[in-house]
Structure 1
Amino acid sequence: MRMRIVLPALAALALAGCGEAGRGANEATAADAANAEANALGNAAAGDNALAAVLAMNDRQRNVVFIRALLDAGIDCQAVTGSERMPDQDGKPMWRASCSDHNMHMISITPDGTANIVTRTDR
């Protein structure tokens, strides 16, 4: 089953708790690398670019975005316990999100905040 969900509040989630004060050199370098990756995909690193925001997030922040996308899609998932970056699909970043019930979902985010979710319902 394939679903598309628009996440208009994604940018707000990405910015919540993303203060510049207290960021270590490693975090700044990771954020810079993520923004460079988003630019390489042909996306402007503007403040309204949800994909750039997701790429710059740490694991915990990204899992919060993924649980919101799954719940908005009507997929039963009590918690996203982890996510891992997978090979790009059609030039778009892809993650595998694991729910606490051991179900897994493939999620990609577009620059406009649309979450594309691919999941199997036959298990």
Structure 2
Amino acid sequence: MPHRALLALAAFLPLAACGGAGSDAANNAAAAEDTQGNAIARIGTLNEGERNAVLFRAIRDANRDCQGVIRSAASDPVQGKPAWIATCDNGGEWLVAIGADGTALVTNGLPS
């Protein structure tokens, strides 16, 4: 059964994308962009480690069992939303679809 989790992408992505460096004004501007539906574009600019951290947060926010995401790969879209398969350190795999507003759909129903 899928579970939806609202991610704190507006706060997390600006830090992940720029490593926490930069002025407060620049970080606030980036956060404002994310709250206006730019979450997908921001995730697309992340390297795999940063993307894994975002997917980990979505999985944990959905109360799924995962202590860390060790790899992720793009998947077919789910309900028109970009999706990734995240593999956790315990071997579990989760399909995470993220909407433009930062809302994540987390399910263990992997595509065939």
Q: CA deviation at 1:95?
A: 0.4
Shift of 1:18: 3.0
Deviations 1:37-69 (A, max 9, x none): xxxxxxxxx812212111221111111111111
Give matches, 1:1-123, under 5 Å: 1-7=1-7, 9-19=8-18, 47-48=33-34, 49-119=38-108
Q: Percent identity?
A: 39
**AA in 2 matched with 1:101:** N
Aligned residues: 94
TM-score using structure 1 length: 0.69
Structure 2 portions without partners, runs of 5+: 19-31
Deviation at 1:88, TM superposition (A): 2.0
Whole-angstrom CA distance in 1 between matches of 2:80 and 2:98: 12
| Separation in 1, partners of 2:77, 2:16 | 28
How many Å separate the matches in 2 of 1:80 and 1:17?
A: 15
Aligned structure 1 segments of 4 or more residues deviating by more than 4 angstroms: none
- TM-score, normalised to structure 2, is 0.75
Q: CA deviation at 1:89?
A: 2.7
Structure 1 runs not aligned, ≥5 long: 20-45
How far apart are the structure 1 equivalents of 2:66 and 2:54?
A: 13
Q: Does the aligned pair in 2 maintain the 1:11–1:53 contact within 8 Å?
A: no
Q: Which has more radius of gyration?
A: 1
1:65-84 per-residue CA deviation (whole Å, 9 max, x = no partner) reads: 11111111111101100000
CA distance in structure 1 between the aligned counterparts of 2:16 and 2:75, rounded to whole angstroms: 26
